[in-house]
Amino acid sequence: MFEKVLIANRGEIALRVLRACRELGIRTVVVHSSADAQTLPVRLADETVRIGPAASRRSYLNAAAIVEAARQTGAQAVHPGYGFLSEDADFAEICAANGLTFVGPPPQVMSVLADKSTARALMSKAGLPLPPGSVEPLPTAADALDVAAEVGYPVIVKAAAGGGGRGMTVVRSAAELPRAYARTRAAAQVAFGDDRVYVERYLADARHVEVQVLCDNHGNGVHLGTRDCSVQRRHQKLVEEAPAPALRQSTLDTLAETALRGVLSVGFTGAGTVEFLVDEAEQCHFLEINCRIQVEHPVTELVTGVDLVHEQLHVAAGTPLRLRQEQVRLRGVAVECRVNVEDPDRDFAPTPGRLDRFRPPGGPFTRVDTHGHAGLLVSPHYDSLLAKVAVWAPDREGALARLDRALREFEVTGPGVRTTIPFVRRVLRDPAFRAGRHTTGLVDRLLTPAAEPVTAPAVPVTAPAVPVTAPAVPTAPAVPAVRADADPAGRSPVTAAPLRST
């Protein structure tokens, strides 16, 4: 096992990884921007290094600074958390070139799976069903019109290099498609440096269901059941639960088995998530593979008893998987919600500010992952996630009641600060959600004028800022820039910021 790990992240996920390392007897190095100098991960780390100013492109996305921090402190491995550089193949390659273990899949696997068109082709070959649409990128709007005419409207135009809910446009008629095609290509070029797009049938009334997998470097793999992530705004999740409710056991088994088959076919290692859309007939359609720990991983941990971050570290250190498929047992139901510093009444616009009061909930089978505390300045520079509240109960009804109770207790206040807590409580009361029959259209339905307005006072919460990681290294003079899931500004610079150890 490693003696020292650098955590290339911030907020809640940095704290989550730090605590896992501490439990395994691993010393930690936390890199941070000047804006995060007083945050909990920095205060609890064994060593810290300031890698740049607040802007993520000059700090958390500065690969050269991150790698140099690892070299200066003697870290043997880099854990990227989620977001930012966690799925950047260039950064993983740079780590390897500098003698550092990247906690995640091999660069070549990440590179293949990051390209949605290539990933779709490989998963189709492995037997995973795809939504109707194009497998290869479409070079012209005329090609997109031909595919849309074949599969039927509505369709969705997607960036081949997209991710994190970005690079997607829903199109409901042929008249809209040429403009949407051009707009999506332009946005993809700016966000990802790659303007290739493809078109597939848009499944408006579908469930978003994913499968957690773990694979080692010795050809072994297991799945740890399903999660439902259908409650989303702007293609980003708000409520997740395990296992996915109201689906036939045969459907759950098919999802898990095909997901594991797919990742093993490309040599995947570490913790990953295979995402599907499931339609009303319970037909499953492959979406993508995420090569990192997910924000919603706590619900899987609660129903399986498996610490996914521990397993990530063991796999990265070369240890064979410590559990077999027959040892994986799902018990009860777990539900998680994200507490974001956002105003649902204003299209979930961020409302950063200083927290005057922060009192997270507690109680039996209630887990709060957060870096929040009274006095914390929720920065406008990073993701709005403040906390995750996850609960477990023997059945779904008990889990929903427990989550509602926890959210009712969660107190967060500050000038101008609003959170998603009141809106999530509305979701929990929705009849379709309570029956487990909700789809990805639930949030839009609740926000339509016919729906009652969100009038409950915003409850403050705690939650981690989006993780960070960055590419670039001293060994390679011209390090390719990297994409940042949490920073739409695009590629990070390769100039190293001055480092300061504390």
Same domain, 418 and 471: no
Distances (CA, A) of 59 to 9, 191, 417, 492: 10, 18, 26, 9
Q: Could you say which DSSP state residue 56 is in?
A: G
Same domain, 405 and 369: yes
Q: Which amino acid is at 481?
A: A
| 120 is a domain residue | no
Q: Which residues pair with 413 in a beta bridge?
A: 357
String of DSSP letters for 9-31: --HHHHHHHHHHHHHTT-EEEEE
Same domain, 381 and 481: no
List, for residues 120-179, the tens digit of each pLDDT value: 999 999 999 999 999 889 999 999 999 999 999 999 999 988 766 678 999 999 999 999
Question: Alpha-carbon distance 342 to 384, whole Å?
Answer: 7
Q: Which amino acid is at 57?
A: R
Same domain, 243 and 313: yes
| 426 is a domain residue | yes
Q: Are residues 439 and 424 in contact, defined by beta-carbon separation less than 8 angstroms?
A: no
CATH number of the domain to which 282 belongs: 3.30.470.20
- Indicate if the alpha-carbon torsion angle 367, 370, 374, 380 is positive or negative: negative
Residue whose structure tokens are 């773990």: 214
Residue whose structure tokens are 């957060």: 370
Most confident listed range (23-32, 106-115, 440-449):
23-32
- Residue 322 reports pLDDT greater than 60: yes
Non-local (6+) Cβ contacts of 38 within 8 A are: none
Q: Could you say which DSSP state residue 339 is in?
A: E
| 458 is a domain residue | no
| 344 is a domain residue | yes
Same domain, 185 and 315: no
Q: How many structural domains does the chain have?
A: 3
- Residue 22 reports pLDDT greater than 90: yes
137-147: buried (b, 16+ CB within 10 Å) or exposed (e) per residue? bbeebebbbeb
How many other CB atoms are there within 10 angstroms of residue 62's CB atom?
A: 31
Same domain, 420 and 476: no
| 436 is a domain residue | yes
Q: In terms of C-beta density within 10 A (0-12 exposed, 13-18 middle, 19 or more buried), how is residue 332 classed?
A: middle
Among all residues, which ones are annotated catalytic?
292
How many other CB atoms are there within 10 angstroms of residue 175's CB atom?
A: 8
String of DSSP letters for 71-113: HHHT--EEE--SSTTTT-HHHHHHHHHTT-EESSS-HHHHHHH
CATH number of the domain to which 14 belongs: 3.40.50.20
**Listed residue (390, 391, 461) closest to 423, CA to CA:** 461
Non-local (6+) Cβ contacts of 325 within 8 A are: 222, 223
Same domain, 472 and 436: no
Same domain, 229 and 174: no
List, for residues 442-488, the tens digit of each pLDDT value: 999 999 865 544 444 333 333 333 333 333 333 333 333 333 333 33
| 453 is a domain residue | no
The pLDDT, as a whole number, for residue 448 is: 83
Q: What is the mean pLDDT of residues 307-313?
A: 98
- Residue 402 reports pLDDT greater than 60: yes
When comparing pLDDT for 382 and 458, which is higher? 382
**pLDDT category, 193, cuts 50, 70, 90?**
confident
| 96 is a domain residue | yes
Same domain, 158 and 239: no
Same domain, 323 and 381: yes
pTM value surpassing 0.85 = yes
- Residue 101 reports pLDDT greater than 80: yes
**pLDDT category, 117, cuts 50, 70, 90?**
confident
DSSP-derived pairing of the beta strands 4-7 and 27-33:
parallel
CATH number of the domain to which 150 belongs: 3.30.1490.20
Same domain, 23 and 82: yes
Which structural domain range is residue 193 located in? 132-201
Same domain, 279 and 427: yes
Q: What is the mean pLDDT of residues 56-68?
A: 96
